[in-house]
Structure 1
Amino acid sequence: MTKSITDSPAAAVQAGMAGGLALAIVGAVLFSTKAVVAKLLYRYHIDAVTLIAFRMLFSLPVFAAVGIWQMRVGPPLSWGDRWRLIGMGLIGYYLSSFLDFLGLQYITVGLERLILFLTPTFVLLISATVLKQHIGRLQWLALALAYAGIVLVFLHDLQGGGNVVLGSLLVLGSAAAYAIYLLASGEMVRRIGALRLVAYAMCVSSAACLIQFFLLRPAGMLVQPAPVYWLSLVNGLLCTVAPVFMTMIAVQRVGAGIASQAGMVGPVSTLFLGAVILAEPVTAWQLAGTALVLAGIWLLSKVKKSA
């Protein structure tokens, strides 16, 4: 009996690559959808403190379960690593998420996603200014393209009035905080593993968000209309837990480079989801700005890959 072509090692590798790419794309779309869900939650007159508390309340059990499992199968952490994890959880997932949700109160989901997509450029700029790493000519071109796209969309949204400047600065702070987390996590992720690092950092972030809520808001604010609970469940599980693990599996199957390039679907999906669900207009200026940002990040990923 002849062996089926689908049973060959090459076919298995190709299927694994296709599955990994699909996971990376779906993960990017789900993670980007959190901005749309947040906008829907704000219609029920809750603030960012309450929104992020509900998000972490629903995602914490999953990350805590993974953290406990990793604690049992992995070697014990040193006190130094524990303190680093606390700091990374507070910066990368608490501060970054909180600033992001604060900014979403004032700007469109399309602009928010584009600003967050500048995270790799912040990593590059911090590496150049703090770590004194050299930035090549093509990297400067990538930065110029990406920031030109942001300026284009920003100037377009500024015409609509409101606190666009404040919202954009808050989301810029979110992107910068996450860039610091990525730089700090590089060495640790190699030593303790991505799954363990993310689970522990998310548990720290969840604890911080819940403590913040009970310090700043009355416990009675936990009583909300049913749609708030359902949307928060979607925010916590489908827009937080699922994309985290999907992206990790995708990186294992196809590599960080391909997974990050697949993530470029995020800003585009957010732009059109905002139009369909939130009735936010999609204009030629926004499409042009999105194209510039994606071109800049794509070029930056190519430069980093060849470096």
Structure 2
Amino acid sequence: MNNSGANKLKVMIVVPNMSTKIETITGGVHSAVLNLLRGFAETRSANILLVSISEAIKDPVEIQFAENIRIYYLPEGPFPSSSLNYFFVSTGRLKKLIREFGPDLVHYQIGGTLLFTRWASMSSIPHLITIHGIPWAELKIAKHWKQRLTIYLNAVIGDWLYPDNIIQISAYSREQFKNRKIDQLCIIPNAIPPRYADIPLKEEMQNHLVFVGVINDLKNQLFILKVLQELKLEGLRFTIEFCGGFGTAEYQQLVEDYINTHQLQDQVRFNGWVAYSELPAVLERSDMLVLSSRQEALPMSIAEAMAAGRPALATRVGGIPEMITDGENGFLIELESTASAKA
């Protein structure tokens, strides 16, 4: 591997399962990481090696993202469980990359069992993590035992192996760590690309809504459909397009059954996962973003909508009230209150 620009700070960023087709990245942590890479590419302030520990590949893949940035896709391992691969296989593979690259800092973008790989260098190189999700908060609202078990495991391992240097993305996120001893902590919200600010404002409302993200019980899209149904009964017609995939077949069945039962087919459109590069076009044709989540840290979708001049209607949970002042730059609604959403 080529290590040009040796006098610059060297940073290794570690994240799981980032797509090898950058243009198809669809949101979430990977979009936040992509925006971070673009910032480093523009400033050229550091040499970056992003290591994606990926379950979908068998052989390493390397991409030159920018003059000062390379992405190295590292096969996760042979076991059917990512946790086992991180523990028994990925750590050794990551250690070899660390010896070759010689980073000044290792920056994790996800916690949980991925932090098993910290053992590759935790005693010799400073480690940092950006906290994007709050497992203990998610555990309180998870309904299915498999989901709860996965979240619990990630929460426990995270508490055990979090680095002492932490970036939080919201004050709410910081509050969840108030009882933990942390050497260095700062709050840095996720960045979004400037192209969202170039989206023209809409001249007239067409009652067209958009949701961006995974479709599951945590994001609570059934609540949105209930609001649409109640508005329909009151003679108000709204349409919505969902940009995201279903988290489980069970939730997909619940959503589809509700749509069919209440004859909402002509008001609802499912786009599946939309590439991050194509989301501005979706926002351009929408009037408002809706987010009905039961738990959020600081949603990028709200920041993107605001940059595009589109208000957001979102539940009053997690870090969302840090972004929205009700009635000024958006609307806050109470969880499961269709009356507050319609108001």
**Under TM normalisation by the shorter chain, which class is it?**
under 0.3
The higher radius of gyration belongs to: 2
**TM-score, structure 2 as length reference:** 0.22
Higher strand fraction (1 or 2): 2
TM-score scaled by length of structure 1: 0.24
Q: Select the structure with the greater relative contact order (CA < 8 A; seq sep ≥ 6).
A: 1
Q: Whose helix proportion is higher, 1 or 2?
A: 1
